[in-house]
């Protein structure tokens, strides 16, 4: 086998050395720049703590107008869906049979009165005769008994007349208060009062003020009550001073403020809530029973609250944390605690202080302890709480 010449060996060795030298002298690629993230500052200010709850309107008073006597409906002079005044005639049932019954009862009463007077006179006539033994005691006793029966008949006749007058009065159904009446359930000409299904004629309800009903969670109820433990007068005074706002279904705020009417006596055991009723002025009749909206209350003001953007908060099961960017642009995953929210920010009670920067966009690019390139949140997007 032919051995390679020394010259060829040297050439190969020189080539390898040159290649190795070239690889050692090649420059290393530069490290990637820190990832860009958008940050926002933690702010501090006094905030009004708003509590909002889904609410429903209902009338302060609602009455079903029903037929209490039987007869043909002859009048319904009101305009459906209109405002009516207290005492205004709403329906009339044919009064003629009841007027006749009243006259008959008056006649029966007059007859009973005459009979009673005659029986009393008989007793007065027989008493001296019985003393003089001119008539028997039995005759006097019978006369006294007849007088008592006549007195009872008179009372029955008077009661029958009162009942006839009531029935005649029931033929007219008038508005029990100022309010708004709905549509007629029975048209004029129908016979009413014969069954339970056709006695309802219409429904009337008050319109001013209007009640707004909502339910508060037990935790919020307890928080409020504990502030006034042992001081009932302070709690009542605070309740009178509270003002409620009503957010309508079209997102507008009702122009009038509401006042607390009452809180229910007990909590709903199934839902864990308590019913709250607020009274709102309704002079323009904008509110009607059955509307939905949201009730807003400012129960307290938190002084120097620490506000962190909600977008910066990451939830880990029952824990919360934010990615803080330090002065050296190094990140730190920091656990925090919050209690409520204000606009688009959480109220932090632990873990943050004013002026610290937190990542609100680009969290997926950041890891604890790494360097980042923070970009301030654009001024046009600054939340109202930070302005």
Dist CA 166 CA 185 (whole Å): 24
Q: Which H or E element spans position 232?
A: helix 232-241
Q: Is the pLDDT of residue 312 over 90?
A: yes
Q: Are the C-beta atoms of residues 212 and 280 closer than 8 Å to each other?
A: yes
pLDDT, averaged across the chain: 87
Lowest mean pLDDT segment, chosen from 104-113, 166-175, 197-206, 241-250 = 197-206
What pLDDT, in 10s, does the model give residues 327-337? 999 999 999 99
Average pLDDT over residues 270-274: 92
Q: Are the C-beta atoms of residues 349 and 335 closer than 8 Å to each other?
A: no
The pLDDT score that the predictor gives to residue 195 is 66
Domains of the chain with CATH codes: 36-47+303-386 (2.40.420.20), 51-60+207-301 (2.40.30.170), 65-93+171-205 (2.40.50.100), 95-170 (1.10.287)
Residue (of 292, 255, 226, 307) closest to 40 by Cα position: 307
What confidence tier does 355 reach under pLDDT thresholds 50, 70, 90?
Answer: very high
Residues 193, 196, 201, 207: is their CA dihedral positive or negative?
A: positive
Dist CA 17 CA 6 (whole Å): 17
Dist CA 144 CA 157 (whole Å): 20
Determine how many CB atoms are found less than 10 A away from the CB of residue 233: 8
The pLDDT score that the predictor gives to residue 37 is 93
User: With pLDDT > 70 as the criterion, what percentage of the chain qualifies?
Assistant: 89
The pLDDT score that the predictor gives to residue 382 is 47
The pLDDT score that the predictor gives to residue 26 is 58
Q: Is the pLDDT of residue 233 over 90?
A: no
The pLDDT score that the predictor gives to residue 4 is 53
- Residues with Cβ within 8 Å of 235's Cβ and at least 6 positions away in sequence, in order, are 225, 228
Residue (of 237, 276, 243) closest to 258 by Cα position: 243
């Amino acid at each position: 086998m032919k051995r390679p010449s020394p010259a060829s060996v040297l050439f190969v060795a020189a080539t390898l050395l040159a290649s190795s030298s070239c690889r050692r002298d090649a420059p290393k690629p530069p490290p990637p720049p820190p990832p860009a993230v958008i940050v926002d500052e933690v702010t501090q200010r006094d905030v009004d703590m708003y509590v909002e709850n889904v609410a429903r309107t209902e009338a302060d008073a609602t009455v079903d107008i029903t037929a209490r006597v039987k007869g043909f409906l002859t009048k319904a002079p009101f305009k459906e869906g209109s405002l009516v005044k207290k005492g205004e005639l709403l329906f009339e049932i044919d009064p003629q049979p009841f007027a006749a019954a009243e006259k008959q009862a008056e006649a029966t009463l007059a007859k009973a009165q005459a009979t009673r007077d005659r029986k009393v006179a008989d007793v007065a006539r027989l008493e001296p005769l019985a003393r003089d033994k001119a008539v028997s005691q039995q005759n006097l006793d019978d006369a006294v008994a007849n007088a008592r029966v006549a007195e009872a008949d008179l009372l029955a006749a008077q009661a029958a007349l009162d009942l006839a007058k009531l029935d005649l009065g029931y033929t007219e159904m008038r508005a029990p208060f100022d309010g708004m009446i709905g549509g007629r359930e029975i048209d004029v000409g129908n016979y009413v009062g014969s069954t339970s299904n056709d006695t309802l004629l219409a429904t009337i309800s008050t319109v001013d003020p209007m009640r707004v009903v909502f339910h508060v969670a037990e935790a919020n109820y307890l928080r409020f009550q504990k502030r006034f433990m042992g001081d009932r007068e302070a709690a009542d005074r605070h309740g009178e001073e509270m003002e409620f706002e009503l957010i309508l279904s079209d997102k507008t705020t009702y122009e009038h403020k509401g006042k607390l009417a009452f809180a229910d006596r007990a909590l709903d055991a199934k839902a864990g809530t308590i019913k709250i009723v607020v009274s709102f002025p309704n002079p323009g009749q904008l509110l009607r029973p059955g509307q939905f909206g949201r009730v807003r209350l400012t129960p307290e003001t938190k002084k120097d609250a620490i506000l962190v953007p909600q977008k910066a908060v990451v939830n880990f099961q029952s824990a919360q944390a934010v990615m803080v960017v330090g002065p050296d642009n190094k990140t730190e995953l920091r656990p925090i605690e919050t209690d409520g929210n204000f606009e688009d920010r959480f109220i932090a009670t632990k873990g943050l202080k004013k002026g610290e920067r937190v990542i609100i966009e680009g969290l997926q690019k950041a890891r604890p302890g790494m360097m980042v390139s923070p970009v301030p949140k654009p001024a046009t997007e600054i939340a109202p709480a930070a302005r």
